[in-house]
Amino acid sequence: MQLTGYIFKGQCYDTGAQAKRKCGLCAKDIRYCFILKNGDLTLVTGPCCFSRFGEPVRKQLEAAKTWLLNIVQQETYEKRTGAVRWEVKERRGLWRIYRRQAIEAIRKYRQETKKEWLPESLFELKIEAAKKPTFKTPSWWYKKQAEKLKARIDLISAPSTSGDSTCLGDYKGEYHGIQV
């Protein structure tokens, strides 16, 4: 038996990935909800029960579903690309901060020691700081690189507990054999 007397005016919505509503006809969980009127009655149904309506209502419902799915797809896509852009921006910002700190540490060492040669810890830091991204660089690279730089900076600037040679400006350890 087809249902009669229902009017569809294009009202429909997406409840989100977790379906929160039940179809007013078959009680199934529905994500995409379509609102129909029958006099004073309001019915919320889903694609599960489109076949219970005759023409032109069924066609109108199908068209609304196509439209709704397009919108949802577009929104999901925009949200995803927006989130990726935001993540890259944030990670790139952090990477720049550590890179600057690294360059500063190397400059400071050279100013204080008047030496061109760098100790191993600073030499390695310089290599990491020299690595540059391209326009295609993925967001994980900035994260990984920022962590690497931070770890090396921490190592250099950590207050020396045993009075050994890792302390910046008081380096007495081995010098790297490569001039940079």
| Closest-approach residue to Zn ion (CB) | 23
Q: How far is the CB of 63 from Zn ion (least distance, A)?
A: 18
| Of the candidates 102, 3, 98, 91, the residue with the CA atom closest to the CA atom of residue 53 | 3
Nearer to Zn ion (CB atom), residue 25 or residue 94: 25
Q: Write out the E strands in the chain.
A: 7-14, 21-22, 29-30, 32-38, 41-45
Q: How far is the CB of 50 from Zn ion (least distance, A)?
A: 9
Task: Tell me the CA distances in angstroms from 19 to 15, 63, 65, 73, one per residue in order.
Answer: 6, 21, 16, 16
How far apart are the C-alpha atoms of 141 and 98, rounded to whole Å?
14
Nearer to Zn ion (CB atom), residue 60 or residue 101: 60
Q: How far is the CB of 29 from Zn ion (least distance, A)?
A: 10
Binding site for Zn ion (CB under 5 A): 23, 25-26, 28, 48-49
Nearer to Zn ion (CB atom), residue 11 or residue 165: 11
Nearer to Zn ion (CB atom), residue 17 or residue 27: 27
